[in-house]
Structure 1
Amino acid sequence: MKAQVFRLPLGVRCSSNNGKVCVSGNKGKVFFYSVSNLHRKGDVIIFLPYLNPYQSSIFMQAVQGVVLGYTIELNLKGIGYKVSTKERNLILSLGYSKPVILNIPEEVSVKLSKKSFSLISPNMGVLQNFATMVRSQRFPDSYKGAGILYGGEIILCKEGKKT
């Protein structure tokens, strides 16, 4: 079997301590666990024993995340739906009697605009989990299409009741 050799881009540092791998770059740090030991020579990284395809993809996502970062855009569609932030909380007004308050994870930053907001993070797993949690507060309605939509998502609405 041929060894997996990873070449790190400029500005990316990788270290391992008792199975916890840390990849850091200009966009932040990403941690994940691995049973493999990290061997480094310059900008070349070799994991022994070899990484399985799942852990290899997690490592490549971490490297890409600390270099470029990941962004998920969410749009609010509906009358009176608003979003704001206060300290490390995301406040969503979604037509309920009280606003929904969610804690923003440390690795995620939020950019707000009028009817949309972007979630930005170097860690793809944390970002997707938080975006799914936000979206679960108000799924898009199948008749009006109102709710929290991913950027570019198109909702096919059902036809209303015929009279």
Structure 2
Amino acid sequence: MSRIGKKSIILPPDIQSEIIESTITITGPKGKLSYNLSKMINIQHINNKLQLSLIKIDKESKALYGLSRTIINNMVIGVSQGFEKKLEIRGVGYRCQMNENNLILNIGYSHPIIIEPPKDILIKVEDNVNIIVTGINKEKVGQIAAKIRSTRPPEPYKEKGIRYSGEIIRKKVGKAGK
């Protein structure tokens, strides 16, 4: 059994949860998120805590047990605090800017790359080289950050490209001459 799934989820006082059949909706100061649980997992609201339990024990339900608890916990964190990912652009002449809601990246290609975020994701640019992606859904924040990074991933020889803040790139040695 999952050790993560057994932990109860503590709800802060400003967070409300609503359970209708197998759908749970979490509402907080930053927004509202919902998730459809598997039919093999039961959820109960007891004294400002959410507790998950298995209906039948088999390999598939055990796998979904910890996953469901983690997703619901991320929903509670998202609607109360939110999530953010920071990216850095490194390279001579590489820069970015915002045009209305769209992110425009000038990163060494012959054309600028335009990224349109979903409506619930906010992108900020600082100093033309730092990008901050924020939102309440951890999955979407990570997906948009990964999409931005994939446009020019950091290369190991000159370390140019877009990287996550704090990411360490192992530099390779160039070709040795005779």
TM range (shorter): 0.7 to 0.9
| Correspondence for 1:101 among 103, 114, 118 | 114
SS of residue paired to 2:147: helix
Higher fraction of helix: 2
Kindly indicate whether the alpha-carbon contact (under 8 Å) linking 2:104 and 2:114 is maintained by their aligned counterparts in 1: yes
Kindly indicate whether the alpha-carbon contact (under 8 Å) linking 1:16 and 1:37 is maintained by their aligned counterparts in 2: no
Q: Distance in 2 between matches of 1:23 and 1:126?
A: 17
**After superposition, what is the alpha-carbon deviation per residue over 1:105-160, rounded to whole angstroms, capped at 9, x for unaligned?**
22211221111111111211111111111111001111100000100112122112
1:134 maps to a residue whose letter is I
2:169 maps to a residue whose letter is I
Show the counterpart of 2:155: 141
**After superposition, what is the alpha-carbon deviation per residue over 1:67-116, rounded to whole angstroms, capped at 9, x for unaligned?**
22111110000111111222332111111111111110222112211111
SS of residue paired to 1:32: strand
Show the counterpart of 1:122: 136
2:91 maps to a residue whose letter is G
Q: Distance in 1 between matches of 2:22 and 2:103?
A: 33
Q: Distance in 1 between matches of 2:126 and 2:67?
A: 36
1:153 maps to a residue whose letter is E
Kindly indicate whether the alpha-carbon contact (under 8 Å) linking 1:71 and 1:120 is maintained by their aligned counterparts in 2: yes
Identity rate, percent: 29
| Correspondence for 2:126 among 109, 113, 122 | 113
- In the alignment, structure 1 residue 92 sits paired with structure 2 residue 105: yes
Kindly indicate whether the alpha-carbon contact (under 8 Å) linking 1:15 and 1:38 is maintained by their aligned counterparts in 2: no
1:100 maps to a residue whose letter is I
Kindly indicate whether the alpha-carbon contact (under 8 Å) linking 1:84 and 1:91 is maintained by their aligned counterparts in 2: yes
- In the alignment, structure 1 residue 66 sits paired with structure 2 residue 79: yes
- In the alignment, structure 1 residue 12 sits paired with structure 2 residue 26: no
Give 1:27 deviation, angstroms: 2.4
Query: How many corresponding residue pairs?
Result: 162
Q: Distance in 1 between matches of 2:10 and 2:170?
A: 44
**After superposition, what is the alpha-carbon deviation per residue over 1:4-55, rounded to whole angstroms, capped at 9, x for unaligned?**
6543101111123453322121222222221356544563434565671110
Which range moves more in the overlay, 30-39 or 140-149?
30-39
Structure 1, unaligned runs of 5 or more: none
Structure 2, unaligned runs of 5 or more: 1-5, 56-63
